[in-house]
């Protein structure tokens, strides 16, 4: 999906709620300039801003990229995504291929990713978002930088799980761009209850 197509969907969702750019910016803590440029297709968004906007607009990220965005139907059975049929979007350091984008209400976001960042430029590269993240390296080699100062090197077959509220950044270290598969969650009600030590409510 092109930045222009995504921008039009964001604008439509905002207009549907009757919000101005200022109101949306206040609700998601993303700058007015960033939202405006994204809506006009002039800026590719990273996952941190995508999740913030999706949460404010009450839109599942996968549904935002779905072919029938805004018209998702309850899942009736298994959702198959054939090879190459995910919805691709190039962000700041990743090219995401969102899998099962038409399945609403997913407790996690399954993605294929190509890490096209080649160097870590400092704290401005960190992404942070609620929830947890799991990544498995399909090919190539990556470094995952954390704002704690840790750097984890992952090669083909390696995996990593972490709290994605911690600033993190991916960089390809191999000659060819690394490919990964990942699962990204938001901070669900159930996780929040568990974190607080409360019994989990029924699903």
- Give the SS3 label for residue 15: helix
Domain boundaries, the chain: 3-65, 107-185
More confident residue, 142 or 191: 142
Q: What is the pTM of this model?
A: 0.66
The fold of the 3-65 domain, in CATH, is 434 Repressor (Amino-terminal Domain) (1.10.260)
Report the CATH architecture of 107-185: Sandwich (2.60)
Residues 156-191 have pLDDT tens digits of 999 999 999 999 999 999 999 999 999 998 744 433
Give every strand in the sheet of 159-163, ordered side by side.
Answer: 87-90, 94-98, 108-115, 178-185, 132-139, 159-163
Q: What confidence score (pLDDT) does residue 120 get?
A: 95
Structure tokens of 36?
Answer: 């405006």
């Amino acid at each position: 999906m092109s930045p222009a197509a995504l921008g039009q969907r964001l604008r439509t969702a905002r207009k549907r709620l009757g919000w101005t750019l200022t109101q949306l910016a206040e609700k998601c803590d993303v700058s007015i300039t960033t939202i405006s440029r994204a809506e006009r297709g002039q800026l590719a968004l990273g996952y941190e801003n995508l999740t913030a906007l999706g949460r404010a607009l009450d839109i599942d990220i996968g549904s935002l990229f779905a072919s029938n965005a805004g018209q998702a139907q309850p899942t009736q059975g298994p959702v198959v995504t054939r090879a190459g049929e995910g919805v691709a979007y190039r962000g700041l350091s990743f090219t995401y291929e969102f899998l099962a984008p038409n399945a609403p209400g997913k407790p996690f976001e399954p993605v294929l990713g190509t890490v096209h960042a080649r160097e870590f430029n400092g704290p401005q590269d960190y992404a942070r978002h609620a929830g947890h993240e799991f990544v498995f390296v399909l090919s190539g080699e990556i470094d995952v930088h954390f704002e704690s100062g840790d750097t984890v090197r992952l090669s083909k077959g390696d995996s990593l799980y972490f709290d994605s509220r911690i600033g993190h950044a991916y960089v390809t270290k191999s000659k060819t761009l690394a490919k990964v598969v990942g699962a990204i969650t938001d901070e669900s009600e159930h996780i929040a209850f568990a974190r607080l030590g409360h019994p989990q409510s029924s699903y």
